[in-house]
Amino acid sequence: MARVLVVDDEPNIVLSIEFLMEQAGFEVVTADDGEQALAMVNDSQPDLLLLDISLPGISGFDVLERLRGEEATAHLPIIMLTAHGRDVEREKGLALGADDYITKPFSTQALVEKVQALLSEEQP
Amino acid sequence: MTQRGLPKRQRLIGLWLLLSGISLLGGAIFAAWLDAQFAPTGVTRIALWLGSFSGGATIFLVGLLLERMLFTPLRHLQVQLARLVANPDARDEHPPEGWLKGLGPDLCRVRDSWRTDRSLLATAHAEGARSAARIRQELETLLQVLETPLLLCDHHRRLMLFNQAAEDFFDGNNGLGLGKRLEALLPVASLQQVLDQLPDDGSPRELLAPCDDRWLKIILRRVPGSDRETLLTFSDATASWSSEMGVRAELADMLTPLRQHTASLTSAADALIQLRNQNDASTSSLRQRFERVIQEECTTLGDNVAKIGQLLDDLQHQGERLTPMWSNDFWQALDERLDPAHRLITPVGMPAWFKGDAPALIALFDSLVKHLSAHLPDSGFEGELCLGNKRVYLDLIWRGKAIPEHELAEWRQQPLTSLPLNPSVADVLRQHASDIWSLADDDSVHARLRLPLPAIERVGAPRETAPPRPEFHDFGIADLPPPDEALASRALRSLEVVAFDTETTGLELRRGDTVISLGACRVVNARLLASEVFDQKVDPQRPIPPASTAIHGLTDADVAGAPPLDIVLTRFRDYVGDAVLLAHNAAFDLLAISHKGVAFDIPVIDTLLLSRALDEALDGHDLDSLAQRYDLAFPPGTRHTALGDARVTAELWLALLPRLEARGVDTLEQLLALQANAFDRQDASAV
């Protein structure tokens, strides 16, 4: 069972995404700030990250940059899931190495499909 | 030796008396010697003595004759000619006399011809200038009523014109003045660049520039067909720019939480839908949590929508078209539009400021009043501005009943055809984030129609418009030489001159006497500007002696609270700018203003020295004598006031100009040489 790490400081949305991902057959772990996210990547070895940008402490962009800078996580699938919807922010997320950039509000069905598609690409 | 005029009168008289005395004395000695040698008697002896004295007596009598018949008439002729040169209408106090009497008719003819020529010239000039004057008058009127601040500058960026609105707009900025450089008013590098790159076809360029804590929106355009003259118009973009940017930024910031909470809401809703398919007891607590999430997010989203609504309201209130208005002006404008012949609306209550789009509101009220008039007896209306909390209410009051809401609903849909794009009443109300309703008054006699509008923080009635300045343009400035051309070679007429004068606590400037009043006025293009003046009292920080008060009339009470000399001198230096200084007996005034550390390292013209240089043989070069000689009048009470004396000094300079030019003194360099020469001679005679 693939493991998805949901990083968001908004508990309401974490609750829903956690449930919906579990319904779709994924194991879900959560983190509510950047530091915790980095620790969880090491501890839980997730297969995919759903990463918000506005986080307490270090930002989602910062987390993304650090993960891409390490060899072990350089190719870890990361989807930015954020309320920052300006073109320039989307461009920045993709430039920093995100595999996809989804702006809130989003279709949960589309989110699940994107996660599944990314994970199937990763598997040989 | 340098060129000299007539020898001084005293020197001539001295020489004559000396020669006469020596001759008489020599004659007496000679007669005594002959008398001793030949011992003549009787008639011979008398003849011998008379013969010996005859030389001295002849010299004395001839001198006396020359003085009476030639030298005195010559001096009078000189004074008369000096007056005539300055002014052909000058008093004819000294008609030619003595041996010059024959010149009388010729002199009269010259003066009459000059008067006639001048009168003919004046008529021709008046004829030729009449149409130009009419156009100028229309232009001046237009410029002075124009509410847009505007400036016109020549290709050297010197101000040739500004209107009343510009003067109000740049109130307190010393850089505004005819002939002054634009850089002094607006020291902004980008402005210079835009000016350099302005297209000649008159198409405008916009610039946002900072100036004295404000952001100015400047529109610049080259005047087509001119000698690269530029028209600049200004508006203060600070308020609209910052408020608009502020609201925009807040709106942009609102988007992120809106996305956030919408995402939470839709995700929770999706989750709840999925849970519905798994309807068992184990999921009931999870369902309750999702329902709570939906409830929370709905509340938060509702709050966010309310905030966005508030921001949109603010945006409309702060929009550029909503401008401050004085309620009485509004009622008057509305009344004139409704029926120019009759008064329909009587303003009542306390007038106040409010903010609105004036043309749209007038069209709206025009429509409303016409609807109301159809329902109501022809008794006219009262207009009242009521103050509410953060809002004001524009109320139209009439005797009768309130208008029912369903009727007002119909009125709201009426198009306002006099406005562009024919908006409806509702559109204009929306523009003002407002609505209308009708209420019956407590007295049960009156009813009113109420329109709420944003109030603005202003106190007091609008300022009375200041009387327009006598001078706000001088197109001749464009003909002046470039400002960076060497000052020395500048033609005297093209010099910008600041005439100044000081009143002091006494004459002992080196022993502590100091300035109590400093006055100055400006001459541009050989024209004395009536209102470009500097007039400032100075706190001398010491008592004013009564003997000094007796001269200038200033007492300690008059200068109490005035700024000290160093502050006044700094302001005065700003006022002087690039001009040349002018004073009568400049040495004294320069010493008076050299007390503090403000440098006046600019050329100084002294009318006292110039007058001496021009009329060395004449006595009386003090300001009063010269004012009398050149027919210059001190307005009552202005003699021995700094500004009054400065003005007369400036007029004296203008009277001396033609005489200087007649002597070939055309440039500042030549003038300063002549002045230095006069100073040397004065110095030498003092020694």
CA dist B57 and B23 (Å) reads 8
What's residue B389's pLDDT? 67
Answer yes or no: are the C-beta atoms of B391 and B454 closer than 8 Å. yes
Whether the Cβ atoms of residue B498 and residue B520 lie closer than 8 Å to each other: yes
Q: Which residue has the higher pLDDT, A8 or B480?
A: A8
> With 70 as the cut, is the pLDDT of residue B538 above it?
yes
Closest C-alpha among B380, B322, B308 to residue B348:
B380
Delineate the domains of chain A, giving CATH numbers in brackets. Answer: 3-122 (3.40.50.2300)
Each of the 124 residues of chain A gets a pLDDT tens digit; together they read: 899 999 999 999 999 999 999 999 999 999 999 999 999 999 999 999 999 998 998 889 889 999 998 999 999 999 999 988 777 788 888 888 999 999 888 888 899 999 999 998 876 5
Asked if A25 has any chain B CB less than 8 Å from its own CB, the reply is no
In chain B, positions 243-282, which contact chain A (CB-CB < 8 Å)? Answer: 255-260, 262-268, 270-271, 274-275
**Reported confidence tier of residue B151, pLDDT bands at 50, 70, 90:** very high
Residues of A in contact with B259 (CB under 8 A): 83-85, 103-105
Domain B323-454 has CATH 3.40.50.1370: no
Which of B259, B266, B297 is the closest to A85 by Cβ? B259
A45 at the B interface (CB within 8 A)?
no
pLDDT one-digit tens code per residue, B647-665? 999 999 999 998 898 888 9
Assign domain B480-686 to a CATH class.
alpha beta
Find the CB nearest A16 among B255, B290, B296. B290
- Which residues from B are below 8 Å from A12, CB to CB? 264, 268, 293, 296-297
**Distance between start and end Cα atoms, chain A:** 15
**ipTM reported for the complex, 2 dp:** 0.73
3-state secondary structure of B211: strand
What is the C-alpha to C-alpha distance for residues B423 and B435, in angstroms, rounded to an integer? Answer: 15
Are residues B267 and A85, on separate chains, in Cβ contact within 8 Å? no
Whether A4 contacts A17, CB under 8 Å: no
Express each pLDDT in B361-373 by its tens digit: 888 988 888 888 7
pLDDT of residue B687: 40
The pLDDT, as a whole number, for residue B321 is 60
Interface test with A, best of B251, B265, B267 (most A CBs within 10 A): B267
3-state secondary structure string across B402-419: CCCHHHHHHHHCCECCCC
DSSP B164-196: HHHHHHTTT-TT-STT-BHHHH---HHHHHHHH
Q: What is the pLDDT of residues B396-427, one digit of tens each?
A: 888 888 887 778 878 888 888 887 777 888 88
Winning range, highest mean pLDDT, from A76-80, B113-117, B433-437, B596-600: A76-80
Asked if the Cβ–Cβ distance from B265 to A105 is below 8 Å, we say yes
User: CB-CB: which of B259, B293, B296 is closest to A104?
Assistant: B259
Mean pLDDT of the region B71-93: 79
Task: Look at residue A75 in the predicted model and tell me its pLDDT.
Answer: 93
Among B255, B263, B289, the residue with its CB nearest the CB of A13 is B263
| B22 confidence band (pLDDT: 50, 70, 90) | very high
| Structure confidence by residue, pLDDT tens digits, B174-210 | 888 888 888 888 887 778 778 888 888 888 888 877 7
Query: Residue B265: its chain A contacts at CB < 8 A?
Result: 105
Handedness of CA A85, A87, A89, A92 (dihedral sign): positive
Residue B241 pLDDT class (50, 70, 90 cuts): low
Top mean-pLDDT range of A49-58, B308-317, B597-606 = A49-58
Residue among A81, A104, A111 with most chain B CBs within 10 A, to mutate: A104
Whether residue B270 and residue A108 make contact (CB cut-off 8 A), yes or no, is yes
Bridge pairing between strands A100-103 and A78-82:
parallel
How far apart are the C-alpha atoms of B198 and B204, rounded to whole Å? 8
Q: Where are the alpha helices (DSSP H) in B630-667?
A: 642-662
Distance CA B80, CA B86 (A): 10
Helices marked H in B318-463: 327-338, 358-375, 405-412, 425-431
Identify the pLDDT of residue B7.
Answer: 57
Count of A-B CB contacts under 8 Å? 67
pLDDT at B498: 94
The residues, any chain, with a CB within 8 Å of residue A83's CB and separated by 6 or more, are A52, A53, A54, A103, A104, B255, B256, B257, B258, B259, B260, B263
Q: What integer best gives the mean pLDDT of chain B?
A: 82
Closest-CA residue of A relative to B297 is: A12
A19/B259 touch (CB, cutoff 8 Å), yes or no: no
Report the pLDDT value the prediction gives residue B520, as an integer from 0 to 100.
Answer: 94
Report field, pTM of the whole predicted structure over 0.90: no
Rounded to an integer, the average pLDDT of B47-66 is 89
Supply the CATH classification number for the domain B146-236.
3.30.450.20
Instruction: Specify the pLDDT at position B377.
Output: 61
On the question of pLDDT at B165 being above 70, the answer is yes
| pLDDT classification of B2: cutoffs 50, 70, 90 | very low
pLDDT band at B1 (very low <50, low <70, confident <90, very high): very low
Q: How confident is the model at residue B453 (pLDDT cuts 50, 70, 90)?
A: confident
Inter-chain CB proximity B270 and A54 less than 8 Å = no
Neighbours of B568 (CB within 10 A): 22
Locate the domains of chain B by residue range: 9-86, 102-143, 146-236, 240-317, 323-454, 480-686
Residue range B23-41: mean pLDDT, rounded: 89
CA distance to partner chain A, nearest, from residue B272 (Å): 9
B271-306 pLDDT, tens digit each: 888 887 776 777 788 888 888 889 888 888 888 888
Rounded percentage of chain B residues whose pLDDT exceeds 70: 88
Per-position b or e across B437-465, b if 16+ CB within 10 A of its CB: ebeeeeeeebbbbbbbbbbeeeeeeeeee
